[in-house]
Amino acid sequence: MAKHKRYFLDKPENVTTLWRIFVAVCAALLLVDLVHHRHVTHPWESLLGFYALFGFIGIVLLIMAAKQLRRLVARKENYYDDDDR
Amino acid sequence: MTTIASLPPFVLYFAAALPVALLRGWSRSLLLVLVPIAGGISLLYAEPGAYWHVSLMQYQLILYKVDKLALLFGYLFQLAAFIAVVFSLHVRATGEHVAGLLYVGSALGAVFAGDLITLFVFWELLAITSVFLVWARRTPRAIAAGLRYLIIQILSGVLLLAGAIVHVSQTGSIEFGYLSLGGLASWLIFLAFGIKCAFPLLHSWLVDAYPEATPTGTVFLATFTTKVAVYALARAFPGTELLIYIGAVMTCFPIFYAVIENDLRRVLAYSTINQLGFMVCGIGLGSALAINGAVAHAFNDVIFKGLLFMSMGAVLHVTGRIKASDLGGLYKTMPITTVLCIIGAASISAVPLFSAFVSKALILAAALEEGHPLVWLALLFASAGVLEHAGIKIPFFAFFAHDSGVRAREPPINMLMAMSLAAILCVFIGSYPWVLYDLLPHALAFTPFDSTHVIAQIQLLLFAGLGVFWLMRRGWYPAEIRAINLDADWSYRWLGPRVTHALTALIRPTDAAVRRSVRHRLQTFLDALFRHHGPQGVLARSWPTGSMVIWVAISLAVYLALYYL
């Protein structure tokens, strides 16, 4: 492994920096809601940070639910092999 | 050119299949590339109308019916065929090229079919030609998956035929046009379309077979079958309310599976159902805005999903691996493929200036306009889910994540060219949407990039991304594990065979007992026969004539006795 070239993302500190930039951008975007007035078709849309929160909470629930789904449906890779032959 | 232009578009593909089967090397490659180019140019000369009437018994078939909707899918298929053909130019196996051409031809035939009989013929040809793209992988798994795929596709065709027969007997018309849902005929046809369109519980052929095809075959498969079904739904069942809910379910349920699926091409197969859900929902909503959105989304999906399937096909081609648990860190040696894959990922996630941004927005806006706020929320949730599995998971686990130690080179130049073309189209349509939107069935004024929508979409996507990476950093993100996930196909791959076995086991003892007793009685009868007529039998002591005399005497005696009674 020592011979391998070290790439940008191999260094944990670079990844941490990228993560911090990403969080900062998200925070800034949330602030945009304070100054930018949305013209909306549905009242839910006018809630402060609706899209941001919906995206964040939605995805976290999705992934957590999928983890539970895995306990129900995951099987060994050769599960069907005897039947398929 | 005008002679080609007057021919139905499928003729060119079917005619080219034979020389492609015979030619080798650069001449074959040249012909393969020329077919979709010639086909695309010839469509530019196509005028709306019905051509190529053929009489079959008392029916008038229309092999080539042109209108705005058919024409848009026609252009799309020629474009997709060109990309897929370039992507597979390095493939030596002749069968794959021939199957690819015939498959594209069948799709074009179905889209320009003016009547139900012609549609049925091409519907079945789609199944028969495409299964060879699965079988071309030649693994036992692919052969089994291909067989299951073929059976289900043929079933769809049989349902279509049954529906068409009932429809014709009721209405006397074989025209393929609007059918309102109600009555046996339309339900049978609806179900036939539903199988090919991967409706929930009818979808498992797609996630079963597509990831088992060859790296290049999947690129063909991902484009044509399902989009023909979307086209057929848009023509026959626009505004059918049931489709709104079917579509909403289609957008949501596959994203859960996509999170935990290890095979990256299977993740894309689930993603295909999710994207089809948006189109089906748009067709169900049925307003001009929604239909435009659905058709535009079908167009965009072919290109960005094609790009994603191509990038994963390229990874499989150069590394021989496709499972998230076996990949990672490929960006180090495959930077071009990485960038192209990310463009596809951005497009499917509907990032502003990439292709799905406008088309998905049209469908979402239509859902609110038509008064379906809960459906709208479901679609919004599914949009965030797309970012998770197609926007982040696909590029992240293939090219970044933990370093798998694989140091693969970039794929062959033809693969890179095809992917680049698709990527350019994604960005071009995303940045200049009106070029595509002028071709849509309904003329509508729209502002693709208003600040509200752009900001809302960026917020939705970035915060969804934040959620994903936050879970990853906390270690809560589900790890890539070597496993498969049970889906609807479990019913016929596991349950079906076992139920059959159990039933056979139940019937077997009864069956054996019945056979035994029948055999026993037969034996007793034969024994009795042998006792009387056998060599030692009473009745065998005399010649047959003697035996006959005895019987005549006995019957006369009986007759005499009866006479005196």
Structure ipTM: 0.90
d(CA B191, CA B187): 6
Q: What is the pLDDT of residue B4?
A: 63
Q: What is the 3 state secondary structure string of B446-458?
A: CCCCCHHHHHHHH
How far is the C-alpha of A48 from the C-alpha of A65, rounded, in Å?
26
As a whole number of angstroms, the distance between CA B362 and CA B297 comes to 9
How is residue B48 annotated by DSSP?
S
Yes or no: say if B118 and B53 are a contact pair by the CB < 8 Å rule: no
CA distance B398 to chain A (A): 14
Contact (Cβ atoms closer than 8 angstroms) between residue B279 and residue B301: yes
* Inter-chain CB proximity B484 and A77 less than 8 Å: yes
Ramachandran sector of residue B62 (left: φ over 0; alpha: ψ -120 to 50; beta: rest) = beta
Q: Where are the alpha helices (DSSP H) in B136-216?
A: 140-171, 184-196, 204-209
The pLDDT of residue A2:
44
Give the position of tokens 């349920």.
Answer: B253
Report which of B126, B203, B200, B206 is spatially closest to residue B160, judged by C-alpha positions: B126
Measured CA to CA in angstroms, residue B448 lies from B72, B179, B287, B437 at distances of 20, 32, 18, 10
Intra-chain end-to-end CA distance of chain A, in Å = 41
- The helix (run of H) or strand (run of E) holding residue B395 is helix B394-399
Residue-wise pLDDT for B368-385, tens only, equals: 999 999 999 999 999 999
Chain A interface disruption, residue of B463, B492, B501, most A CBs within 10 A: B463
Provide the 3-class DSSP secondary structure of residue B62: strand
Cβ–Cβ below 8 Å for A58 and B380: yes
Residue B295 near residue B265, CB atoms below 8 Å: no
If residue B49 lies in a helix (H) or strand (E), which one and from where to where? Answer: strand B49-56
How far is the C-alpha of B175 from the C-alpha of B337, rounded, in Å? 46
Strands (E), B418-548: 484-485
CA distance B223 to B76: 10
Q: Find residue B55's DSSP bridge partners.
A: B60
Q: Please count the residues of chain A.
A: 85
CA atoms of B479 and B136, how far apart (whole Å): 32
Distance from CA of A8 to the nearest CA of B (A): 9
For residue B2, what pLDDT is reported? Answer: 59
| pLDDT digit string, tens, across residues A48-72 | 889 999 999 999 999 999 999 999 9
A 1-20 residues with CB < 8 A to B: 5, 7, 9-10, 19
Residue in B with minimal Cα distance to A84: B144
CB contact under 8 A, B257 and A69: yes
- CA pseudo-torsion sign B436, B442, B444, B447: negative
> Could you tell me the CA-to-CA distances from A28 to A21, A32, A53, B457, B463 in Å, in that order?
11, 7, 14, 15, 11
Residue spans of chain B under pLDDT 70:
1-5, 542
Q: Do the chains contact at A74 and B458, CB–CB below 8 Å? A: no
CA–CA dist A42, A62 (Å, integer): 24
Q: What is the pLDDT along chain A (85 residues), one digit of tens a residue?
A: 445 677 888 888 888 999 999 999 999 988 888 887 777 778 888 788 899 999 999 999 999 999 999 999 999 988 887 655 4
Q: Does B381 touch chain A (CB under 8 A)?
A: yes
Q: Do B467 and A30 touch (CB under 8 A)?
A: no
Backbone angles phi, psi at B52, to 5 degrees: 60, 60
Tell me if residue A63 falls in helix, strand or coil. helix
- Cβ-nearest to B458 among A5, A29, A64: A29
With CA atoms as reference, the chain A residue closest to B148 would be A84
Q: Taking CB atoms and an 8 Å limit, are B477 and A54 in contact across chains?
A: no
- Give CA–CA dist B407/B318, Å, rounded: 10
Buried b (16+ CB within 10 A) or exposed e, B193-208: bbbbbbbbebbbbbbb
Find residues 50-69 of chain A whose CB sits inside 8 Å of chain B. Answer: 50-60, 62-67, 69
Q: Which residues of B touch A57 (CB under 8 A)?
A: 467
Q: How close does chain A come to B484, measured CA to CA in Å?
A: 5
CA atoms within 13 A on the CB side of B127: 23
Residue B376 with chain A: CB contacts under 8 Å = 42
Integer Cα distance of B324 and B472 in angstroms: 15
Q: Taking the CB of residue B500, how many other CB atoms lie within 10 A of it?
A: 10
A49 φ/ψ sector (left φ>0, alpha ψ -120 to 50, else beta): left
Kind of pairing between the strands at B49-56 and B484-485: unpaired
Picking from A48, A63, A82, A83 by the largest number of B CB atoms within 10 A of its own CB, the best residue to mutate is: A63
pLDDT at A1: 42
